[in-house]
Amino acid sequence: MTMADLTTNVRYIKGIGEKKAQALGKLGVFSLYDLVSFFPRKYEDRSTYKPIALCLDGETVCIRTLIADMPRLVRVRRGMELVKFRAVDESGSVDITFFNQNYVKDNIQRGDSICFYGKIEYNGNRRSMVNPVYEPEGSDKGVTGRIVPVYRLAAGLNQRILRQAVRQGLDACAEQLPEALPESVRERMHLVQARYAYENIHFPADFGALELARRRLIFEELFVLACALSDMRRQRVNDNGLLLPRADLEEFWSTLPFSPTDAQRRAAAQAVEDMCSGRAMSRLLQGDVGSGKTLVAAALIWFTARAGYLSAFMAPTEILAEQHFATLSAMLAPLGLRVGKLTGSMTAKEKRLVKEALQNHVLDLVVGTHALFSEDVSYTDLGLVVTDEQHRFGVNQRSALIGKGRRPHVLVMSATPIPRTLALILYGDLDVSIIDEMPPGRQKVDTFAVDESYRARLNGFIRKLAGEGRQIFVVCPMVEENEELPVKLKSAEEHAKELAAVFPELRVACVHGRMKAKDKDRVMAAFVAGETDILVATTVIEVGVDVPNAALMIVENAERFGLSQLHQLRGRVGRGPHKSWCILVSESDSQDVKARLDIMHQTNDGFRISEEDLRLRGPGDFFGSRQHGLPEMHVADLGADVNVLQQAQEEAQRVLALDPGLDEPENAALRERVTKLFEQSAAGFN
């Protein structure tokens, strides 16, 4: 047999034929390297043998025994046979039974020393064990007397096959495992070597060894991620960008009816600095709901137009595009900017006219949806792309935008406040501006958590506010079909019907995720226009929609929402001159839920809320796979391992400071991992 290396196909492994190789492929395992990098999902602690007499009823244990009598075959009925025998140790005895595994009779003899792993059951004072895992004492099967790995499976595989395959994989190529961590980093962080880590993550000698292996592999994974993000930033820094001439933003600020906050000024100045630097801007503008991000974008659009370039402003939905079109036109048209819009619902003719205008650069700004970047739209002199997104853009989407013009500057706006520690990593490839200050006079949205006993009072409150001409949002959790629910959840549709019955005098509308986009937009637009009083919705209600007349946000089953999500929802009210409230309805009596809802009552500060959310729930929320566009992690939990993430980030900076391109020979293995991560992610980013 030829020598195997890490790129060798898994079929090299004894016992892995075409079928099993296909099954492994479903798990993403193709090469020997994939195989040894396929880490266990969990472990079973079979490390200690227990004296039989000390085993408890129902306990799953390892025992080390002597076979006390000759295994015999018992025919219970047709098609059902058992092998039965008794096994003993110095402390006691146990009856062992195997169903339909007649071969056991030939493998086990009286007087053999055999170790078993299985569940002990008591019947009176007799103990029994059925279909245990077994091996002769001192065998190298490794199924008892140690910590045993448990893998994720696919049809056609079982734990035994995987364990044996991984064992062989490690034996074949442990020597060749690349050391992705530079020696200096490994030493400074007191991390074990790759070889030790791979061996012990699969077949830990003991729990101490497992911990060492895990620590190293988690660090390695996050370190590679941090290097990859830095590398992206570095490549971007090398991109030449449009060099715009300087101009004093004061000229724009002075046209406003109010003065910008210091935070708005600072953010705009940072972006202007980018645009005058000769490199392409890729900046994230992060600010809580209502912090005035649009105004910063407007200033930059003005700045870009003054330099003779066109801006494109992309919103996630039609209705938001309409709103931004209205606000931006109102602000910029008086200054002589030509503003157009491009959305999916426009007629073909309207679209054609706008596209021509973009091509001929007779517009200074176009506001729209994804339609802005469809294939048939081409821009002349595109200088700035602004995207207003609830969530972060995938990396490849950004590059699609950039591909549209000759390297326009890009500003991504996000209303999801995330703690600084996470932002550093999550947006490692972007420059970040944070608006951490609210425009003056913004009133606090008073927030209360209540239970069903308040229902009548709550209805009274709705009636009172509606009587004063205010509008009301009611949000119900999204109910997945076939979701099994321990509690009664309010579905938006049902709840809307109930409310319509309670308030015959009010106009109640409903919008939810299963509606067609067009219908959703129609219902939303009617609410924005004040044609309905109560809007019952799932969280599809558009983030960022401005309904200044809305003064009450009710969230049903509030326990189902994350704090940051509740904060976003609350941001839908209190946007006008009216005193506003947010009522969180929950029947949950869990202390954890109470603590979370109480934070909503205490503060309106999105950053504080996100930090509390991080503290209470871990960062799973922020790293929810769809939100960030980062590659999937194998061992690291981007959430739980935040501290390691930070260390990895620091170490990555240290290494990159000395060898920015990772070109030095000692960083070759790292370079390869970083490149690979990009390749995999390119497919996954969207």
Which residues here bind ligand ADP, judged by CB under 6 A?
258, 260-261, 264, 287, 289-295, 415, 439, 544
Which partner from the list Mg ion, ligand ADP, none does 471 bind, CB cut-off 5 to 8 Å by kind? Answer: none
Q: Which does 289 bind (CB under 5 to 8 A by kind): Mg ion, ligand ADP, none?
A: ligand ADP
Question: What is the H or E stretch that residue 368 is in?
Answer: strand 365-368
The option from Mg ion, ligand ADP, none interacting with 260 (CB < 5 to 8 A, set by class) reads: ligand ADP
Cβ neighbours of 685 (radius 10 Å): 18
Q: Any idea what DSSP says for residue 140?
A: S
Q: Could you tell me the smallest distance in angstroms from the CB atom of residue 267 to ligand ADP?
A: 11
CB of 386 to ligand ADP, least distance (A): 11
CB nearer to Mg ion: give 83 or 289. Answer: 289
Residue 430 touches which of Mg ion, ligand ADP, none (CB < 5 to 8 A by kind)?
none
Binding at 258: pick from ligand ADP, Mg ion, none (beta carbon under 5-8 Å per type): ligand ADP
Minimum CB distance to ligand ADP smaller for 25 or for 577? 577
Q: Strand, helix or coil at 554?
A: strand
Please give the angle made by the CA atoms of 208, 214 and 219, to the nearest 5 degrees: 130
d(CA 116, CA 133): 6
Cα(636)–Cα(493) distance, integer angstroms: 40
Q: At what angle do helices 194-202 and 159-173 cross, to 10 degrees?
A: 160
> Which of 86, 43, 167, 219 shows the shortest CA–CA distance to 634?
219
Considering the complex, state which of residue 548 and residue 618 has its C-beta at the smaller distance from Mg ion. 548
Q: Which does 291 bind (CB under 5 to 8 A by kind): Mg ion, ligand ADP, none?
A: ligand ADP
Dist. CA 203–CA 648, nearest whole Å: 26
Nearer to ligand ADP, 264 or 667 (CB): 264
- Return the number of the residue (232 or 312) whose C-beta is nearest Mg ion: 312
Cα 534 to its chain centre, rounded Å, is 32
Q: Please, what is the minimum distance in Å from the beta carbon of residue 219 to ligand ADP?
A: 37
- Count CB-CB contacts under 10 A for residue 533: 21
Report the residue number, 291 or 586, with the smaller CB distance to ligand ADP: 291
Stretch touching Mg ion by CB under 5 A, among 270-278, 484-492, 536-544, 592-600: 536-544
Q: Is 229 left (phi over 0), alpha (psi -120 to 50) or beta?
A: alpha
Q: Are strands 581-585 and 446-450 parallel, antiparallel or unpaired?
A: parallel
Task: State the Cα–Cα distance between residues 402 and 437, nearest whole angstrom.
Answer: 30
Return the number of other C-beta atoms located less than 10 Å from residue 467's C-beta: 11
Q: State the nearest-atom distance from the C-beta of 531 to ligand ADP, in Å.
A: 21
Rounded-to-integer distance, Cα 668 and Cα 14, Å: 32
Question: Which is nearer to ligand ADP, 398 or 567 (by Cβ)?
Answer: 567
Q: How far apart (Å, rounded) are the C-alpha atoms in residues 427 and 285?
A: 11
Q: What whole-number distance in Å separates Cα of residue 170 and Cα of residue 174?
A: 5
Output the smallest distance, CB 174 to ligand ADP, in A: 53
Q: Is the Cβ of residue 24 or residue 410 nearer to ligand ADP in the bound state?
A: 410
Q: How many residues of this chain bind Mg ion (CB under 5 A)?
A: 1
Least separation in angstroms between CB 384 and ligand ADP: 17
Handedness of CA 321, 323, 328, 333 (dihedral sign): positive
Distance CA 34, CA 275 (A): 43
Residues ≥6 apart with Cβ < 8 Å to 18: 11
Residue range at the interface with Mg ion (CB under 5 A); choices 187-195, 422-430, 477-485, 539-547 = 539-547
Q: Are 448 and 275 in contact (CB under 8 A)?
A: no
Q: Are 378 and 358 in contact (CB under 8 A)?
A: yes
Q: How far is the CB of 304 from Mg ion (least distance, A)?
A: 19
To ligand ADP, the closest distance from the beta carbon of 414 in angstroms equals 10
Place of tokens 């019947």: 123
Residue number with CB closer to ligand ADP (204 or 260): 260
**Residue closer to ligand ADP (CB basis): 199 or 546:** 546
Which residue in 411, 404, 162, 105 sits closest to 283, CA to CA? 411
Site for Mg ion in 540-559 (CB under 5 A): 544
Q: Quick one: what does residue 363 bind among Mg ion, ligand ADP, none, with the CB cut-off 5 to 8 Å set by partner type?
A: none
606 binds Mg ion (CB under 5 A): no
Smaller CB separation from ligand ADP, 297 or 496? 297
- Which residues contact residue 476 at a Cβ distance below 8 angstroms, ignoring those fewer than 6 apart? 489, 490, 491, 492, 495, 536, 537, 538, 556, 557
The neighbour count for residue 556, using CB atoms within 10 Å, is: 21
- Cβ distance to ligand ADP smaller for residue 149 or 544: 544
CB of 539 to Mg ion, least distance (A): 17
State the binding partner of 568 from ligand ADP, Mg ion, none, CB within 5 to 8 A by kind. none
Q: Which of Mg ion, ligand ADP, none lies near 287, with the C-beta cut-off 5 to 8 A by kind?
A: ligand ADP
The minimum distance between CB 314 and Mg ion, in angstroms, equals 13
Rounded least distance, CB 229 to Mg ion, Å:
26
Taking every pair of Cα atoms in the chain, the longest distance, rounded to a whole number of angstroms, is 99
Find the residue with minimal CB distance to Mg ion.
544
Please tell me the distance from the alpha carbon of residue 555 to that of residue 533, in angstroms, as a whole number.
16
Tell me which residues in 9-68 interact with Mg ion (CB under 5 A): none
What's the chain's length in residues? Answer: 686
For residue 31, CA distances in Å to 28, 35, 173 come to 9, 6, 11
Selection from ligand ADP, Mg ion, none that 323 binds (CB < 5 to 8 A by kind) is none
Cβ at position 411, least distance to ligand ADP in Å:
13
Return the number of the residue (390 or 588) whose C-beta is nearest Mg ion: 390
Minimum distance, C-beta of residue 436 to ligand ADP, in the bound complex (Å): 12
Question: Under a CB-based contact definition with an 8 Å cutoff, are residues 309 and 298 in contact?
Answer: no
Give CA separation, 401 vs 237, 313, 357, 573, in Å. Answer: 17, 11, 19, 32
The smaller minimum CB distance to ligand ADP, of residues 369 and 649, is found at 369
List the single partner that 36 binds among Mg ion, ligand ADP, none, CB under 5 to 8 Å by kind. none
Partner whose binding site includes residue 439, from ligand ADP, Mg ion, none (CB under 5 to 8 Å by kind): ligand ADP
Picked from Mg ion, ligand ADP, none, the partner binding residue 477 (CB below 5 to 8 A depending on kind) is: none
Query: In this complex, which beta carbon is closest to ligand ADP, that of residue 61 or of residue 296?
Result: 296
Supply the minimum distance, in Å, between the C-beta of residue 242 and ligand ADP. 25
Neighbours of 45 (CB within 10 A): 11
Smallest distance, ligand ADP to C-beta of residue 291, A:
4
- Which residues share a beta bridge with 80? 77
Residue whose CB is less far from ligand ADP, 65 or 294 = 294
Total Cβ atoms within 10 A of residue 21: 18
Residue 144 binding target from Mg ion, ligand ADP, none, CB below 5 to 8 Å by type: none
CB-based closest residue to ligand ADP: 292
**Where is 194: in which H helix or E strand?**
helix 194-202
Site string for Mg ion, 644-663 (x = CB under 5 A): --------------------
Closest CB 535 distance from Mg ion, rounded Å:
19
Residues in contact with Mg ion by CB under 5 A are 544
